[in-house]
């Protein structure tokens, strides 16, 4: 009887460890067959930006020295991860020292509101990859 109980316990433990779990692959794939793309293409991306970005708040937060330091036309270079399901995460501004802090914060805020993208593809499967996207603003009152 003791051996039977031990055998049952061992078989249950191997069953629990042997089950397949659906885990998310967090590996970033750098060599892809197709790059990620905003759903609807560049025209839809521009529409999303124009609806979502709030440059008035950026202008309010900038002082006159920041206009001199960073200029009226600023480009935020963003790098982020597009996951297999199209979600955007891990957003970084690569050129923080070349744009105003207010515009950098606004660019990140906008990217966080982004709807799902079409993910990158490798061997006909969606994969997680890093992507760069510029956001250009002309900050004039």
User: What is the per-residue pLDDT across 36-83, written as a single tens digit (0 to 9) for each?
Assistant: 999 999 999 999 999 999 988 888 888 888 878 888 899 999 999 999
At residue 63, the pLDDT reads: 83
Q: What are the C-alpha distances in Å from 13 to residues 6, 7, 16, 19, 32?
A: 11, 10, 5, 10, 39
Asked whether residue 6 carries a pLDDT value surpassing 90, the answer given is no
Contact 111, 132 (CB under 8 A): no
pTM for this model (two decimals): 0.77
At residue 100, the pLDDT reads: 93
Across the chain, where does the E strand assignment appear? 37-38, 73-82, 88-93, 117-118, 120-122, 125-127, 129-138
At residue 25, the pLDDT reads: 52
| pLDDT 10s digits, 9-20 | 333 333 333 333
Report d(CA 140, CA 55) in Å as an integer.
9
């Amino acid at each position: 009887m003791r051996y039977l109980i031990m055998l049952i316990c061992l078989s249950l433990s191997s069953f629990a460890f042997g089950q397949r779990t659906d885990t998310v692959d967090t590996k970033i794939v750098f060599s892809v067959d197709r790059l990620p793309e905003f759903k609807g293409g560049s025209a839809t991306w521009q529409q999303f930006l124009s609806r979502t970005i709030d440059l008035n708040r950026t202008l309010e937060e900038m002082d006159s020295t920041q206009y001199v330091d960073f200029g009226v036309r600023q480009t935020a270079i963003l790098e982020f991860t597009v996951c297999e399901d199209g979600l955007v995460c891990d957003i970084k501004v690569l050129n923080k020292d070349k744009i105003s802090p207010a515009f950098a914060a606004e660019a990140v805020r906008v990217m966080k509101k982004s709807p799902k993208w079409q993910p990158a593809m490798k061997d006909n499967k969606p994969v997680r990859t890093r992507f760069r996207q510029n956001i250009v603003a002309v900050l004039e009152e």
